[in-house]
Amino acid sequence: MTHDYTRNGVTTLFAAMNTLDESIIDQCMKKYRHQEWLRFLRQIDRSTPKKREIHLIADNDATHKHPAVKT
């Protein structure tokens, strides 16, 4: 990547699947930072019944390990 690299028309897709009913929660965003990751996690939280346990599998990306995300 060079100093003048731009993401021309590229988007980031966040997606989660409910394996019980095969429903999908998805969101496209222009950037891939911890702020967008948190926004997606909040969407999952709003879309899922409070009594349901959520199992999240994410890679070892720094975005997923940011202190704000851990909190």
Say if residue 35's pLDDT is above 90. yes
* Domain map (residue ranges) of the chain: 12-70
pLDDT the model gives residue 44: 94
Phi then psi for residue 34, to 5 deg, are -65, -30
Q: For the chain, how far is it from start to end, CA to CA, in angstroms?
A: 31
Say if residue 9's pLDDT is above 90. no
pLDDT the model gives residue 1: 64
What pLDDT, in 10s, does the model give residues 47-70? 998 898 888 888 888 999 999 999
